[in-house]
């Protein structure tokens, strides 16, 4: 059992797909995750919604290729970094 924590924006949605894949492949394991959507709602006050793009814009994080896996993952990590540091 690896000790990996997944970071995602709206992680509950993403984890449902991951769990379905685990089940289909008959894999077991505990999926631990950090949800930047929930953390944003709790700690960042001011944006008009909490979509990843809106939060990124609010925090001045550039995303040159929104909705592309690598870029969205990078932005998600940057959002988490801002929340952990309290720099928003």
CA-CA distance, 74 to 78, in Å (whole number)? 6
What is the helix, strand, coil percentage profile of the chain, to 5? Answer: 50, 10, 40
β pairing state of 32-35 and 5-8? parallel
| Segment 4-17 mean pLDDT | 90
Q: What does the pLDDT look like over 33-68, one tens digit per residue?
A: 999 999 999 999 999 999 999 999 999 999 888 888
Q: Average of pLDDT values for 60-85?
A: 92
Q: What DSSP character marks residue 87?
A: -
1 pLDDT more than 70: no
pLDDT beyond 70 at 14: yes
- Distance, in Å, from the CA atom of 15 to the CA atom of 11, rounded to the nearest integer, reads 6
Ordered by start, the domain boundaries in the chain are 5-85
CA 8 to chain centre: 2
């Amino acid at each position: 059992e690896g000790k990996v924590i997944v970071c995602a924006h709206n992680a509950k949605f993403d984890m449902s797909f991951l769990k379905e894949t685990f089940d289909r492949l008959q894999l077991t394991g505990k999926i631990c995750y950090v949800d930047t959507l929930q953390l944003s709602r709790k700690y960042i006050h001011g944006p008009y919604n909490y979509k990843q793009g809106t939060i990124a814009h609010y925090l001045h994080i550039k995303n040159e290729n929104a909705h592309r896996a690598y870029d969205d993952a990078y932005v998600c990590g940057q959002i988490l970094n801002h929340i952990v540091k309290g720099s928003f």
